[in-house]
Amino acid sequence: MKKFVYWFSGGLIRYRFGFLCLCLIISVFFSFHLKHLSFNTNLGDFYPLKHPYLQIQNRLNSVFGGLNQVSIAIEVKNGTILEPAALEKVWQITNILYLTEGINAGRVVSLSARKIKHVQADESGFSTDWLMHDPPRTGEAIEKLKQRITGNPMVYGPLVSRDFKATLIQADFESAVSSRDIFKAVQGIKKQFEDADHVIYISGQPVLQGWLDYYLPRMAGLFVITLLVMSAVLYNAFKSKRGVLLPLLSASLATLWGLGLMAMFGYKLTPSTVLAPFLVFALGVSHSVQFIKRYYEYMAGEKQNSKEAAVKVTRSLFVPAFTGLLTDGIGPFTLFAVPLGMVRSLAVGIGFGILSIFFATIILVPNLLSFMKPPRRLEVIKEERTTLTNRILGYFAGLAVNRKSRRAVIGIFFVLTFIAVFGTSRLIVGDKEPGTSLLYRDSDYNRAEKFISDQFGSSDSYYIFVEGKAPDAFLSSQALREMESLQRYLEKEVPAVGRSLSLAEYIKGMNMSMFAGDRKEYRIPDSDKTIAEYLFLYSLTGFPGDFDPVVNYNYQYANIKVDVKDHKASTINALVGKTEEWIRLNHKDKNIDFYYAGGSIGMLGAVNRIVETMLPVNSLYTSFLVFLCLVLAYGSLVSGWLLIVPLVFRTFLVFGILGFCRVGLTAEMIPVVALGIGFGDDFGIYIVQRVKDELKDKKLKLQDAIVEAMSTSGKSVFFTGLSLTLGIAVWMFSSILMQVRLGTLLAFFIFFNAIGTLVILPSMIMTVKPRFLKK
């Protein structure tokens, strides 16, 4: 290894023009590829698409549509929706939607939609009419409409709020229509119909995707902030131009190459992959800091020239930098096992970036340093001047040197970890906030979701897919009775359930109409033939596709939709558990089968399951691989334990804090932990290497080596940790809450790791006194 490092460092500087040209050519090549890189959100990335619940959702989408559903609510500020101006808007918006390219006309629902009917029954028969064919203009006509609304439980509540202040319009678009086009169309409607007295709220998956696409390009602005923050940190660390510009240049090239690789392999910038350049940039800077710091140390000596210093820096830092980058790469590597598109694509982005950092830091930084004039004396003095950081680090070293204090440090650390284990037992999985966890609670989108949920009682949906063994399976009284029984069971057993809807309600409604509107006849008829006739009559009254959301054309597939008031993990578990229980105890009809869990409840439930299973598995897997890397790099088991045990304990501490703070564990925690562990050991590696060098080269005693390592590499570690933390913390300014959460947690984790390393590791080394340090 030593021979290789000598050969490599020598060759790197000997052929420095060649390496520089190579870096330039690679940069031009990847710059060319950048033009293919675009912003594009795919909500599928946030869900485990192969999970059984998502498979059910896919079947629901393919049979009943609804993938591209949007909800448009109109709120009247002064007055109610039962006024000509508001009703005219409903009517116009509905008609515009019918004419919109790619609309699924059979799924347009509003007061004036063609499929929303008013049925009036008496002894002689019944009449069916559009609920609101044209907007009423006279008081009498409006009163008539009000009576129609209040008399229809499928309209009063679900489509018109109880206080008549708001009404809902729903539309669904063909799957071929892009979310960008849908977003544009509905935003156009909002712009056209919103005024001082009428507020329009819009929600739905394509709208959410549209908002994410809208916010994504703003990340470019945050990148500029990152650049400024990094410059400030670097200036504070080195007080020189080269100390600022060199790390920025090398990190920028690593970022450029990483992005170029992503573009070359066809990846887009999504809410998760857009974070990769930030991470790569911060990581690139943090590794460069070590090189610059060591360069200044060499240049502090007499008669040094830049070429020699570059060779020495490479010799000293090749192993820790290589090991550090290798363990950095373990995080993204293990993330490939997580079945979430957002995690995998983030892993790809970071993986490409780390590969780029290897070249941009280990090759380019020494290469550029070799071309530079030796720094002026003042520049070196400024860099080496004792600062507050040095004093604090000296204090940490002092804690390690003193036997009592180091025992106290280790003892406190163990006690805290023990308390943290208790904290982890209080961890809750899943997000409990209403609306999407991807955006802020007060974002336009979440305000719209909240409004619609509050007014129309449809916060989250839970779908059960009911499959017949053969066509016409639902022309059966038994099948419908089972569906109804399951609905009543869930309504009774799960407190968060609002209402439920299935084919059973339609059949019961038709039966009541057939019997002069008698409430007693709101039931499923006994005869299968009557059910067949009712369904046939329904099919005669709607255009092709109008009945598709409820039952498919050959009556083989149906669904049960359950409106749920929240998506807490306990609610999701209760819904799934009670459904399973009902099926086990009550499902007798051999001609139909029930499959769950679809809708937003199923999708979130699947994510929760992934978090529950993958988080501990992935954390252990990452820790094991990091441990293996360390053992291989230093040829000692003790080196692995020395670095990994505090890291695992620190991870417990972070989880414990989250548990005590009752922060819900969401999917973002998986990359946070994997990257936190992968990046977190860098700090220890640089310190251990420095102690090793001091013991070996300067033949210092262990305690002196530690003091020296803390004042040199310790300082670098502090700035490395600070630059990484601040680089990631900038995500807190994003408009996308998922990025904020990821940034906050990861920044906290990394800073915690950096400080933890500086406090604990010296005491651990002094206590263990590992022999591998002297080899």
- Interface residues with another protein (CB under 8 A)? 95, 99, 103-106, 114, 124-130, 133, 472, 475, 514, 527-530, 532-533, 536-537, 539-546, 553-554
**Residue 400 to residue 769: CA distance in whole angstroms:** 12
- State which residue, 467 or 493, has the beta carbon closest to another protein: 467
- Minimum distance of another protein from residue 548's CB (angstroms): 9
- State which residue, 493 or 533, has the beta carbon closest to another protein: 533
**Residue 285 to residue 296: CA distance in whole angstroms:** 16
Q: CA end-to-end span of the chain, whole Å?
A: 13
For residue 452 the two structure tokens come to 């619609």
For residue 136 the two structure tokens come to 């009423």
Sequence-distant (6+) residues with CB within 8 A of 745 are 668, 669, 672
- State which residue, 523 or 578, has the beta carbon closest to another protein: 523
- Minimum distance of another protein from residue 41's CB (angstroms): 27
Task: Report the residue count for the chain.
Answer: 775
- Residue spans of alpha helices (H) in 460-568: 477-493, 503-514, 528-541
- State which residue, 137 or 698, has the beta carbon closest to another protein: 137
- State which residue, 421 or 532, has the beta carbon closest to another protein: 532
Q: Strands, DSSP E only, in 532-624? A: 557-564, 592-598
- Minimum distance of another protein from residue 117's CB (angstroms): 9
- Give residue 131's identity as a one-letter amino acid code: L
**Residue 100 to residue 114: CA distance in whole angstroms:** 15
**Residue 480 to residue 112: CA distance in whole angstroms:** 29
**Residue 728 to residue 743: CA distance in whole angstroms:** 5
Sequence-distant (6+) residues with CB within 8 A of 464 are 486, 559, 560, 562, 579, 594, 595, 596, 597, 598
- Minimum distance of another protein from residue 421's CB (angstroms): 56
- Minimum distance of another protein from residue 591's CB (angstroms): 15
- Minimum distance of another protein from residue 124's CB (angstroms): 5
Give Cα 753 to chain centroid, integer Å.
Answer: 23
Could you tell me which of 764, 772, 752, 759 has the C-alpha nearest to residue 679? Answer: 752
Could you tell me which of 9, 690, 694 has the C-alpha nearest to residue 367? Answer: 9
In order of 58, 71, 460, 606, the CA distances from 62 in angstroms are 6, 20, 20, 19
- Minimum distance of another protein from residue 529's CB (angstroms): 4
For residue 692 the two structure tokens come to 């090793």
- Give residue 718's identity as a one-letter amino acid code: F
For residue 775, the 8-state DSSP code is: -
**Residue 404 to residue 450: CA distance in whole angstroms:** 57
- Minimum distance of another protein from residue 194's CB (angstroms): 22
Give Cα 195 to chain centroid, integer Å.
Answer: 35
674, 651 contact by CB (below 8 A): no
- Residue spans of alpha helices (H) in 301-340: 306-335
- Minimum distance of another protein from residue 120's CB (angstroms): 8
**Residue 20 to residue 18: CA distance in whole angstroms:** 5
- State which residue, 98 or 214, has the beta carbon closest to another protein: 98
**Residue 591 to residue 648: CA distance in whole angstroms:** 53
- State which residue, 128 or 387, has the beta carbon closest to another protein: 128
- State which residue, 265 or 536, has the beta carbon closest to another protein: 536
- Minimum distance of another protein from residue 508's CB (angstroms): 15
- Minimum distance of another protein from residue 116's CB (angstroms): 12
- State which residue, 96 or 410, has the beta carbon closest to another protein: 96
- State which residue, 95 or 570, has the beta carbon closest to another protein: 95
- State which residue, 70 or 346, has the beta carbon closest to another protein: 70
